[in-house]
Structure 1
């Protein structure tokens, strides 16, 4: 170990021997026993505690874990597993789970629907447990007051169905995938095909309930305006456990119109002109119209063995077919829309249509959670603020064909999105953005070579798009989770590392989120790879100051041991142990850490 002076080395070895002699890695069984014993002291339903806590030895553990894994990349034998899973039925169960996890010093992951693209809600590189909210699915619709109270574990499909049960002229602006969980979707922003008319989901939240780090249940009044602001787009898992949201219903007409129009390069169609016009029209047209654009490399039907680009517009218009056809004839003639392309239907049937159900499907299909279903996937995001030129688009087509599989989803903004200020919620991407890009690649077979190939494709296309998207910062959407843009190493609490991804997700709102986080969770108990850090930059292990646990000590022991063994794979990180601070500084050669490569240093400083 060059650069390590004798005195710090002696102190380090002394510390290692001390910890080695007194601490051993806790077993999953001991964690389960300790947690169960603690939970019975806090939950009101002591008789069912053993029924809602699943140890790794429980015969149902794997089925409970896998039911809401929505990205097959994180459903492998090598994926880290939780030491236990809690499936609360009552609010007191959640309170107890937070208090007990904090008391024993173990990381808590919170899962509502499992759609986090990077598996952050159910995977960690350190010992952890999951609070799985899937049984928290109650929905109460009050048509008279035009609100609904929705628990965090409900799915969007369930929300839409329960609203439709009570009213045929109300809806809610949220995502088009019916199995997405409310807790993560709404707390991360929540957008869908009515955003140009009614804004984001977070723009329509009027109250919330959360369990904070002290185990208290707080509503909007109890948590205060700052925390209420933070959980409406800043990611609820950084601040507590979301129990429910109270949302404002929005009016929908009795008849809406949907259409799908495709255009392909290999059919001598002017796909480039098609996309050029889409950029000019989609963000600026009538705010009742949402036209999503899919761009995909597909097999050519003209030249065998070659690929071409297909552009497809998928649209929802909050009105009748005649009106939207007339509108498109005037504004978007290249689309070639006619009434035969259009289908008039009820709003609830449009929800089914957007979710790719056939036209005979009944609305109760939205209640199907479709568990244990996932493909392998990678997603990334960008924002476009100036139209991409003809030459730019033609270069993009070539790059997409060269790479082979990664496609785009362009989601237009404008309308209501340009009327809400960038600091009204933590979600800042409002006026000035023409459309959001989702980079999308899916594959069906497991294997590290396949995964590396397809994720590399997405990253290469993302790199190619640099000249065409926002800059300083290059913005990203929190709910299109992407660990490529930066992480705060597990257990770490670095403002500097957090700002790398935080400014991309939240722009100028990041610092306000940090201040709120520092006020409500100063020890950084609620944390993940891309959570909001506190402003101090000091790490805590997740245990309360009054009760450092064997898990906390074990975590320190592991970090020191891998360093002495020359295997340190943590980035710059500060750990507090009694009165000794150990800092790991940056090294020049890369080492593997979790799911990415990092630079770490050979130097250990004890100060």
Structure 2
């Protein structure tokens, strides 16, 4: 009787196991795999109470809060072993990962998909250390840190060191560096990516690699070539740059009625040829062009340069604001009342949605065209233009030195942006950008019409995934050569070396080009 009871018990257990196993989906298998290596409090499913708040915390564009494919899981690792486990579990269970550092991806591809897809988001919000070595002039910066957090740490470490990254303090380091990254120091010190000297990468096999072990082609690729295509960059070693104890900023608005068209026409030739210490960008909105500048020096030194090189702007001593470099960071982007501590704030206003795209200008746009452009900017539902001058250091680097190819011969970059209320459709604003972009075609670069990878725009093209589950090289060229010109093929070959199965994939990731195939 006891033997029979044991037999019945074993039979029941076996039946229960089979039934349980039959309802354990691949989704459950992935979660079980993660749970073996990652604490449960770092894992979120769609049924988790905190799922929505964790996912939406770093969404920077309200239009992506609805009507999009969301991740089935969110993973918030705190160290490299968690990231390695996520990759290995993902590969084992056919679950792809999308990598989010700051959430500023213009198309939201770090946390959403344009197509139906089962995927997880690896959110690096807890991988955000900044370790500055002022003596060696270097820093290790984790991908989940924001530019503001990096700048703050650099400012605390010394008054005469800086880093040439972008303006927006809430942008995540990981995406910014991997797309190139430029800001007010670009004419003096080039891109953020130009100043990366080492990195730590988790590849599609779960290996932890540095500059030497990942190989020269992959290290070249992640510095401006869409780093999320090649793996997960956990940390970057960067070279810090020297700045004087006093820098000077100014912001001079000029309306059309006060000669903005003439001043802007002249700016195109002047700004890229100024001394490298002087950067003057332009924000063009409505009927006003605002000339915003950072000069690495005092007002007394700046005034004679402006009077001799760009007198049309009419800059004078009352326009000058002198301060330290670290104080210029919040002043330029957040306004005159902002403090250095404000750049540590990771939240942004979610009142408006937006759409953006970009161009590069290699020949001066004539005055009569600028007259027409201001007509476009006066239309209902019009957006704005941001013009960033090149020349200087960024133009002295060969196109092939990094994946970022927009170097010699570029006068300036244009970013087009438009905004609408968070609850609105944005149809009219998107139509304005599309029509204005078409109008600008004869006046910007061509063959290819260049674009900046960090101003990602899916209207430029999307990958086509073939029968083998791998993105096609030729379809990728449609958008890839706009971002990377002649460097696109080398990027695809680097992808073929480290991720030939295209595990790290999104709508505009680099497709693999494998030798012999």
TM-score (norm 1): 0.79
Do 2:350 and 2:422's aligned partners in 1 also have CA atoms closer than 8 Å? no
Q: Could you list the per-position Cα deviations for residues 464-485 of structure 1 after superposition, in whole angstroms to 9, with x for gaps in the alignment?
A: 0001000000000000000010
Q: 5+ residue gaps in structure 2?
A: 1-21
Change (3 A) 1:537 1:501: farther
Deviation at 1:372, TM superposition (A): 7.0
Which residue of 185, 204, 209 corresponds with 1:218? 209
Match of 1:391 in 2: 368
Q: Verify: 1:335 aligned to 2:313, yes or no.
A: yes
Query: In 1, distance between residues paired with 2:384 and 2:470?
Result: 34
Corresponding residue SS for 1:134? helix
Which residue of 264, 268, 286 corresponds with 1:275? 264
Q: Verify: 1:523 aligned to 2:513, yes or no.
A: no
Match of 2:94 in 1: 105
Q: Aligned residue pairs: how many?
A: 491
Corresponding residue SS for 1:283? helix
Q: Could you list the per-position Cα deviations for residues 292-335 of structure 1 after superposition, in whole angstroms to 9, with x for gaps in the alignment?
A: 111112xxxxxxxxxxx111101100101122121111111111
Query: In 2, distance between residues paired with 1:153 and 1:31?
Result: 29
Deviation at 1:363, TM superposition (A): 1.7
Corresponding residue SS for 2:215? helix
Q: Verify: 1:453 aligned to 2:428, yes or no.
A: yes
Q: Verify: 1:180 aligned to 2:164, yes or no.
A: no
Deviation at 1:538, TM superposition (A): 13
Q: Verify: 1:246 aligned to 2:237, yes or no.
A: yes
Match of 1:170 in 2: 161
C-alpha RMSD of the superposition:
1.8
Do 1:117 and 1:481's aligned partners in 2 also have CA atoms closer than 8 Å? yes
Do 2:73 and 2:120's aligned partners in 1 also have CA atoms closer than 8 Å? yes
Q: Could you list the per-position Cα deviations for residues 550-595 of structure 1 after superposition, in whole angstroms to 9, with x for gaps in the alignment?
A: xxxxxxxxxxxxxxxxxxxxxxxxxxxxxxxxxxxxxxxxxxxxxx
TM-score (norm 2): 0.92
Do 1:260 and 1:313's aligned partners in 2 also have CA atoms closer than 8 Å? yes
Match of 1:65 in 2: 55
Match of 2:277 in 1: 288
Query: In 2, distance between residues paired with 1:395 and 1:169?
Result: 44
Q: Verify: 1:147 aligned to 2:138, yes or no.
A: yes
Do 1:428 and 1:507's aligned partners in 2 also have CA atoms closer than 8 Å? yes
Deviation at 1:260, TM superposition (A): 0.4
Which residue of 490, 499, 502 corresponds with 1:512? 490
Q: Could you list the per-position Cα deviations for residues 118-148 of structure 1 after superposition, in whole angstroms to 9, with x for gaps in the alignment?
A: 1111111212110000110011100111100
Query: In 2, distance between residues paired with 1:352 and 1:370?
Result: 15
Match of 1:96 in 2: 85
Corresponding residue SS for 2:275? coil
Q: 5+ residue gaps in structure 1?
A: 1-25, 298-308, 540-607
Do 1:422 and 1:428's aligned partners in 2 also have CA atoms closer than 8 Å? yes
Deviation at 1:444, TM superposition (A): 2.1
Query: In 2, distance between residues paired with 1:365 and 1:67?
Result: 18
Deviation at 1:244, TM superposition (A): 0.3
Do 2:30 and 2:95's aligned partners in 1 also have CA atoms closer than 8 Å? no
Query: In 2, distance between residues paired with 1:120 and 1:456?
Result: 22
Match of 1:316 in 2: 294
Q: Could you list the per-position Cα deviations for residues 344-366 of structure 1 after superposition, in whole angstroms to 9, with x for gaps in the alignment?
A: 0011110011222433x432222
Q: Verify: 1:475 aligned to 2:450, yes or no.
A: yes
Query: In 2, distance between residues paired with 1:208 and 1:389?
Result: 44
Do 1:400 and 1:461's aligned partners in 2 also have CA atoms closer than 8 Å? no
Change (3 A) 1:52 1:32: farther
Q: Could you list the per-position Cα deviations for residues 498-527 of structure 1 after superposition, in whole angstroms to 9, with x for gaps in the alignment?
A: 000000000000000011111111110001
Q: Could you list the per-position Cα deviations for residues 61-93 of structure 1 after superposition, in whole angstroms to 9, with x for gaps in the alignment?
A: 0000000000111012x2221101000011100
Which residue of 160, 165, 170 corresponds with 2:151? 160
Match of 1:7 in 2: none
Do 1:212 and 1:218's aligned partners in 2 also have CA atoms closer than 8 Å? yes
Deviation at 1:402, TM superposition (A): 3.0
Query: In 2, distance between residues paired with 1:50 and 1:34?
Result: 15
